[in-house]
Structure 1
Amino acid sequence: MDGGDRDLNEKTAVIVGVGTGMGRSIALSLASKGWNLALLSRDAKRTGEICHEAEAKGIKCFPIVADAMDEGSLNEAMKEAKKKLGRVGALVYNAGGFFTLDGIESLSLDLLDKAYLLHLRGLILSVKALLDDLKSSKGSVVVVAASPATIVAGNAAYASTKGAQLWLVKRLAKELLSYGVRVNSVSPGPTTHDPSSPSDLEVKLGTYDPRPSWDVGEAVAFLLSESSPRFTGANLIMDGGLSIPAD
């Protein structure tokens, strides 16, 4: 699959979900490689700060307040992103949350619905909003999913909706192949961006990992680049071996 040479004006990406260190890592990695960016997040202050850092690398960056769980908010934000950037060449969907160890008996439908809205519906709406641009630019989509290490007891809402992202990635990759649009995912384990330092949750999961999140940004940049023309429907697991069964 030939990714072709992308004009500088088409080296434009929308990143959904930049309120954490992982979103910052992705934004700065892309900025360092010449991508102009629109950053979508509910946190206006944090998004503005990350945009300021990105612009120091010589690119244009536009902070846009948006809620990935709200259809109207997300659609309006996508319209603004396209207006600011021109034709969009890439989408990175990094929105995530609602991790809990509550068992199935205490799992609320409200939490399940919210996990679906954030991890799946928001992703689908984002792709639909940018689809014409992605087709015309032969662009790429990268979804930030989650390491298999997150599939633990009491994590049904998060694990099921994050797992569904991986199947959606494969389905979209197949569907959009004929348009030259590539769709891939990365599945990171815990990184130092996590709001909880070695917390009770991480102790219970045995997942604390002090490694920084910069490599996630570099992996996303690789998947969006012309260096990965045959990557589509792929998932890069980046958890430092946490998901490998013990001997």
Structure 2
Amino acid sequence: MTDTTDPRHAHREEGFPAQQQDQPGLTDETRPDPDHGESTYRGHGRLQGRRALITGGDSGIGRAVAIAYAREGADVAIVHLPEEQKDADDTLALVRAEGRTALSLAGDVRDEDFATRVVTETRSALGGLDILVLNAAYQHDIDGFESLSTERMRRVFDTNLIGMLFTARAAFPHLEPGASMIVTASVQAYQPSPGLIDYAMTKAAQVAFVKALAEEAGPRGVRVNAVAPGPIWTPLIPATGWDAERLATFGEDTPLGRAGQPSELAGAYVYLASDDASYTSGAVLPVTGGKHL
């Protein structure tokens, strides 16, 4: 029998305990700890010498990508909110442990000046920019469409779309042939939940962004793709506002029957950033536990 892992049992199979956090959510307050690949990800030099900027890189999917990129040989800058500095410091320590340069950029991507400046600061500190991962996001549960608050709706759109556009627009002129832009979309773009209607709308718009920009970027030798995660256990989940029952069953509606862990997405981001994906652009790569896009 071959030495393979049964994906149904590769990570936690039961649901998650009741808990509540305020946005953006912190790793130390998330029970159980998400697996970012700290003790499992093994690099193979696929991104040796490259320079990456990851928005929302302090925890969850962003941390898993930062760890993987560092172990594949890349220097890494991460964007995070000031209140996430502890998470950011922990991520940066993991990057530096691989002998790579790590840069912390604290601020809010809804601020056009900041979201633009992170590109300049990354290029200055790392000597250039080869990989841009647009991962920062905000979501909240809505108890009926009529209860959708204007303030929260604007935060969703400004974080997930406007902030993404600010950073992508600033980076685009500086991306050279071989560079890669990767957006964290979502299964919600294709299977929207009523309770996440504004979030799902932004994720659908991100898919359109990827497809349109890939057409413009292709003749320059720059690739633009997205990863579409399914239910992944990150600090964003207990900060979404779901009740105990929703957390207890989180991810059980997937064909694999469980939620995913951030570490299970890292390989997708490495692939899309690497030369292995040299003919992949305008694509949306699902990591959904078997849910269809």
For 1:60-139, list aligned pairs within 5 A.
Answer: 60-134=101-175, 136-139=176-179
Distance 2:155 2:47 in 1: 38
| TM-score when normalising by structure 1 | 0.87
1:221 aligns with 2:266: no
Distance 1:36 1:214 in 2: 19
Q: For 2:231, give the aligned amino acid.
A: P
Residue 105 of structure 2 aligns to a residue whose secondary structure is strand
- Tell whether the 8 Å contact from 1:44 to 1:64 is kept in structure 2 after alignment: no
- Tell whether the 8 Å contact from 2:118 to 2:167 is kept in structure 1 after alignment: no
1:232 aligns with 2:277: no
1:152 aligns with 2:193: yes
The offset of 1:243, in angstroms, is: 4.0
Paired residues in the alignment total 237
Q: For 1:35, give the aligned amino acid.
A: A
Q: Residues 155 and 191 (structure 1 numbering): CA distance in 2 closer, same or farther, change over 3 Å?
A: closer
Once the two structures are superposed, residues 10-62 of structure 1 have per-residue CA deviations (whole angstroms, 9 ceiling, x without a partner) of: x1010000232211100001111001111111122211210111111121111
Q: Residues 189 and 33 (structure 1 numbering): CA distance in 2 closer, same or farther, change over 3 Å?
A: same
Matching residue within 230, 237, 260 for 1:211: 260
RMSD, aligned α-carbons: 2.3
Q: For 1:94, give the aligned amino acid.
A: N
Which structure dedicates a bigger proportion of its chain to helix?
1
Distance 1:76 1:98 in 2: 25
- Tell whether the 8 Å contact from 1:111 to 1:157 is kept in structure 2 after alignment: no
Residue 277 of structure 2 aligns to a residue whose secondary structure is coil
Once the two structures are superposed, residues 153-184 of structure 1 have per-residue CA deviations (whole angstroms, 9 ceiling, x without a partner) of: 23211110111101111011011111111000
1:41 aligns with 2:86: no
The offset of 1:83, in angstroms, is: 1.1
Which segments of 5 or more consecutive residues in structure 1 lack a partner in the other structure?
A: 1-5
- Tell whether the 8 Å contact from 2:110 to 2:163 is kept in structure 1 after alignment: yes
Q: For 2:278, give the aligned amino acid.
A: P
Matching residue within 200, 205, 208 for 1:164: 205
Matching residue within 22, 30, 40 for 2:61: 22
Distance 2:99 2:228 in 1: 29
Matching residue within 178, 188, 199 for 2:229: 188
- Give percent identity, aligned residues only: 28
Distance 2:251 2:121 in 1: 42
- Deviant stretches of 4+, over 6 Å: none
Q: Residues 192 and 7 (structure 1 numbering): CA distance in 2 closer, same or farther, change over 3 Å?
A: closer
Q: For 1:78, give the aligned amino acid.
A: V
Residue equivalent to 1:200: 245
Residue 92 of structure 1 aligns to a residue whose secondary structure is strand
